[in-house]
Structure 1
Amino acid sequence: MNLETNDNADKIKVGIIGCGKISGIYMENCQKFSVLDLVACADLNPDRAREQAAAYGIPRVYTPEELLADPEIRLVLNLTIPAVHAEVSLQALEAGKHVYVEKPLAISLEDGRRVLEAAKERGLMVGCAPETFFGAGIQTALALIEEGAIGRPVSATAFMMSRGHEHWHPDPEFYYAPGGGPMFDMGPYYLTALVQLLGPIRRVAGITGKALPERTITSEKKRGARVAVEVPTHVAGTLEFHGGAIASLITSFDIFGGSTLPPIEIHGTEGTLLVPDPNTFGGPVKYRRTGEEAWTEQPLLPGYEANSRGIGPADMASALLRGRPHRASGELAYHVLEAMWAFHASSDTGSYYAMQSRCERPAALPTGLPPYTLD
């Protein structure tokens, strides 16, 4: 891959397309990382772009077309809704920009491949959320596995049990449209964490279901409006990893009375590891070895415990400057996208889905660096 020797300054200029609810934390954190220079934002709703620019001190407000035409912007953060992730990413790549996109990479495998192929043809980088696996919680769990604290990992369980988002999100319709549902909304966090901890996935068996044909919005602004449910809202299944481990995963919007199930457990030949919620950056991380009666809470590695969304683009910018691979890569995101589709395809066909893609396990984040620096 051409890593663009003209990207050899101290910072990479960044523009954000999509100024919705998730954009605030990116705008806040992108200004903390030493390698990023957030210079512009854009949205189809110009008032929303102006409001966010004023709130976070962003100097330029553009239309999406104007942002893509700005020759100073090298990296575009695509924070649009999932249905147009691929379209906007392709436009940015065609404009000669590197792209970091909110999860998922795309809503179809075909579009995901198009994004990766367009980047390869132009010698550009694609990165994708989630970057929560950069957090101190997952990184500490990874270090314990690599140190052999629980022996060889042989199995895992992962649970994302939720009632859905219509009770709090101001615009929840897309969660129940194609590209939505619990697997495409929250599955990226769990699957990315599992790939970080256990490596790439070999095959998947899944079953899907739907509790309700429509949902009633109870959040403000659209309270009382009804939303048709077009996608499965309960997705369960099993993953086999190339390394031999087997994991059970449930993602659901159909848990109306709450749940006490843990987010992720990794079981090894010599113990069990409790992994924190992969939609967060912190802990706690606990483990118990065979024969021990009490859990040991492992001190978190120095790093990122608070909400650090923006670290993925920062790592990508640092990779551009240093000529190294980035961790939240397009290949990782595509592997996760294929795994999400695999649950649905397996359910539809009643058979295992053999994964066609394979990715590198992301390198551990280095420790001992000053805050908000990655090299």
Structure 2
Amino acid sequence: MKIAIIGTGFVADYYMTTLANHPQLELCGVFDRDQARLAQFCAHYGTRAYPDFQSMLADDDVAIIVNLTTPESHYALSRQALAAGKHVYCEKPLAMRYEEAAELVALAEAAGLTLATAPANALSAAHRLVADKIGQGAVGQARLVYAQMEDGPVFRAPWQEWRSVSGARWPGLHEFEIGCTLEHAGYALSWLVALFGPVDSVTAFSALTFPDKGPGTGSIEPGPDFSVGALRFRSGVVARLTNGLAAPRDRSMTILGDAGTLTVGDLWDHSSPVYLESAHGGRSLATKLAERLEAKLGRFIHSKPLPGRKIRYGRDARRLRLPNYPSRIDFAGGIAAMADAIEAGTRCFASGDVALHITELALALNNAASLPQPYRLQSSFEPAKAG
């Protein structure tokens, strides 16, 4: 299936790096309003540049528009693409307002088109491994989830020097302006809704805790750099999700059930280490030794191994070309899953009602200061049935 990309900024390199994993996708060309950046990108990858967005939409060969522009542009450009009869794969969030996201989903539905949202990390081998273990009853009934999307104090790092493989600057000013939640919550939310279904309500809090983001940031009004939400799922599971740009980097998830606990080391790692601890024994030797050492020393040890035994991946796990640390995600995998579903005449998971639900959740967490609490979700979806 032929695709075209609008937006050749920092994240576009992640998509180009992983496009080779999916030979069923063919890139027709790209466009960016920044002509210098567009030329740099095309020279690096040897790809075609469209003269403008309308030329891209007029290309009858293109089936899917991949919208990698800034979040404020997502709604308008995705709307134009849908109006032109194109399927759309959009970076998170679908729009900056729930009403606009709902409008896009309705437009796609009415036109018989697919509108899907990033991120694609819920398609990872780690996610499949965790979903399989939950399905096999490894933790019994899942009850409580702790998820972290803490990216560390990025504003204190030399972010002005960061470049993508093709030379794009990391958009630090814009990231700080949008805030940690709209940029990062989706990576956890996609996992959560794929595992546990739709959320009924969210009780959340968000704040700007470090207004001074350092030299060169005085021209912006930063968005929230901390948010926390308690999510109550229709399935009965309760989850706590934190997002931040100040606390030490931590992108782990812990799933606690009646019979045990699953711990995922890093939601941004396609093949993250996953650990299983039984509630009735079966703890790893390393965990036991660490606890004995704590008792002997009479103090808490912060750097301990994750609890339980490390679960092995199957030998048939596919080797993929992935970006370097820290974003070891198969970004183009979301587009590929969408294209496969279109070809098969089925619905890909992160599209339609699910895409709207993930977007609404991220907006509710981000805008918690101005929303009634608890916030009742307007959107929902019917979870896929096992088997």
Given residue 93 of structure 1, which amino acid in structure 2 is its aligned partner?
A: L
Kindly report which structure 2 residues correspond to 1:50-129, keeping only aligned pairs within 5 A, or say none. Answer: 50-129=39-118
Residue type of the alignment partner of 1:73: V
SS in 1 for 2:3: strand
Q: Distance in 1 between matches of 2:351 and 2:91?
A: 12
Aligned partner (choices 267, 287, 300) of residue 313 of structure 2:
300
Contact 1:132 1:278 in 2 (8 A): yes
Q: Could you say which residue in structure 1 is the equivalent of 2:303?
A: none
How far did 1:320 drift? 1.3
Are the counterparts in 1 of residues 199 and 233 from structure 2 also a CA contact under 8 Å?
yes
* 1:253 aligned onto 2:245: yes
Q: Figure out how many residues of one structure are paired with residues of the other and give that number.
A: 343
* CA pair 346-61 structure 1, distance change in 2 beyond 3 A: closer
Change (3 A) 1:323 1:332: same
**In 2: Cα distance, 1:276 partner to 1:363 partner:** 27
The alpha carbon displacement at 1:280 in A equals 2.5
Deviation at 1:188, TM superposition (A): 0.3
Q: 1:34 is matched with which residue?
A: 23
> Cα deviation per residue 1:156-205 (whole Å; 9 max; x = unaligned)?
1011223454432532222233xx21111110001111111221111110
The aligned counterpart of 1:285 is 274
Matches within 5 A, 1:280-359: 280-292=269-281, 293-294=283-284, 295-301=308-314, 302-303=317-318, 306=322, 307-344=329-366, 346-349=368-371, 351-359=373-381
Aligned to 1:204: 202
Q: Residue 370 of structure 2 aligns to which amino acid in structure 1?
A: D
Q: 2:223 aligned to 225, 228, 231, which one? A: 231
Conserved? CA contact 1:155–1:267, under 8 Å? yes
Task: Give the superposition deviation at 1:212.
Answer: 2.4
Deviation at 1:314, TM superposition (A): 0.8
2:134 to 138, 145, 149: 145
Partner of 1:220: none
Contact 1:158-1:262 at 8 Å conserved across structures: yes
Please tell me whether the aligned partners of residues 214 and 228 of structure 1 are also in contact (alpha carbons under 8 angstroms): no
Q: CA deviation at 1:322?
A: 1.3
- Taking structure 1 as reference, are residues 36 and 71 closer, same or farther at Cα in structure 2, changes over 3 Å only? same
Alpha-carbon RMSD across the aligned residues, in angstroms, is 2.2
Amino acid aligned to 1:21: F
Q: Deviations over 1:200-222 (max 9, x none)?
A: 111110112221223125xxxxx
State the partner residue of 1:372. Answer: none
Residue 227 of structure 1, CA deviation: 4.5
Task: State the alpha-carbon separation in 2 of the partners of residues 273 and 119 from structure 1.
Answer: 37
The one-letter code matched in structure 2 to 1:214 is: D
Determine if contact 2:87/2:113 at 8 Å carries over to the other structure.
Answer: yes
Indicate conservation of the 8 Å contact 1:135/1:303, yes or no.
no
DSSP-derived class of the 2:243 partner: strand
Deviations 1:74-111 (A, max 9, x none): 11100001110111101111111110011111111011
Give me the TM-score of the superposition, normalised by structure 1.
0.85
Q: Once the 2 structures are TM-superposed, how far is the Cα of residue 125 of structure 1 from its aligned partner?
A: 0.7
State the distance in 1 between where 2:229 and 2:49 align.
46
Aligned to 2:175: 175
Pick which of 313-322 and 31-40 moved more: 31-40
**1:23 aligned residue:** 12
Once structures 1 and 2 are overlaid, which stretch shifts more, 66-75 or 161-170? 161-170
Cα gap change, 1:107/1:254 in structure 2, threshold over 3 Å: closer, same or farther?
Answer: same
Distance 1:225 1:174 in 2: 10
* Distance verdict in 2 for CA 1:237–1:111, change over 3 Å: same
CA distance 1:135–1:338, shift in 2 (3 Å): same
Paired residues of 1:78 and 1:89 also in contact (CA < 8 A): yes
Superposition deviation, residue 336 in structure 1? 1.2
Alignment deviations for residues 265-316 of structure 1 (CA, whole Å, 9 cap, x no partner): 0000100000232222121011111122221211124246643110111111
Preserved CA contact (<8 Å) 1:276 1:282: no
Q: Which moved more, 1:158-167 or 1:78-87?
A: 158-167
Q: Which amino acid in the other structure matches residue 193 of structure 2? A: V
- Alpha carbons of structure 1 residues 23 and 50: separation in structure 2 relative to 1, 3 Å: same
The whole-number CA distance in structure 2 between the counterparts of 1:262 and 1:308 is 17
Look up the SS of the partner of 1:326 in the other structure. coil
Deviation string for 1:41-66 (max 9, x for gaps)? 11101232222222223244432221
CA distance in 2 between counterparts of 1:297 and 1:142 reads 15
Mapped to 1, the partners of 2:95 and 2:356 lie a distance apart of: 8
Distance 1:145 1:78, change over 3 A: same
* 2: CA distance, partners of 1:228 / 1:46: 24
Contact residue 31 and residue 37 of structure 1 kept, 8 A: no
How many angstroms apart in 2 are the aligned matches of 1:91 and 1:49? 21
In structure 2, distance between residues paired with 1:160 and 1:27: 24
SS of structure 2 residue aligned to 1:215: coil
Does the CA-based 8 Å contact 2:38-2:49 persist in structure 1?
no
Asked whether the 8 Å contact 1:165–1:175 carries over to 2, the reply is no
